[in-house]
Amino acid sequence: MARKYIENPNACTLVHTMNIIGNKWKPIIIYLLSNGSMRFGKLNALIPTISKKVLTNQLKELENDGLLFRESFAEIPPRVEYSLTEKSIGLLPALKQLSEWADKAYPEINFEECKIIEIHNIPAYKDLYHETRTKSNE
């Protein structure tokens, strides 16, 4: 199935962002991978309502958009793990804010706590987070 894009003649950043992550599965996949790299089977088990075909397509699109890193291991049986890239780690604060918004906007729903790891808690990206925070405070 071909990917559907919203027309973006004015190059709006929000429209572009929604074209990249604006479906029901991609934010969930990014959220799950915020807790560390995972194999396809684990992702599929954690999202029981997604079909294997759709999960495969979503992972390919996220990889093509530079939001996921796919690592293949030369083992028998073959092993593949997915992890977040620097670009997708930058989305975590926004996903966390969306989660917090839902919690405040719908207090009647008993949500479980979303465990999105904060970007500053990911060792490989501590410097990136520090740079971002420093620039925004200037």
pLDDT at 118: 58
pLDDT in tens, the chain (138 residues): 567 777 777 778 888 788 788 888 999 999 999 889 999 999 999 998 999 999 999 999 999 999 999 999 988 888 999 999 999 999 998 888 888 888 889 989 888 776 665 555 555 455 544 444 444 444
Question: pTM (2 decimals)?
Answer: 0.77
pLDDT at 12: 85
Token pair of 68, please? 């996921």
pLDDT at 133: 40
Helical spans, DSSP H, in the chain: 13-21, 26-33, 40-46, 52-64, 86-89, 92-105, 126-137
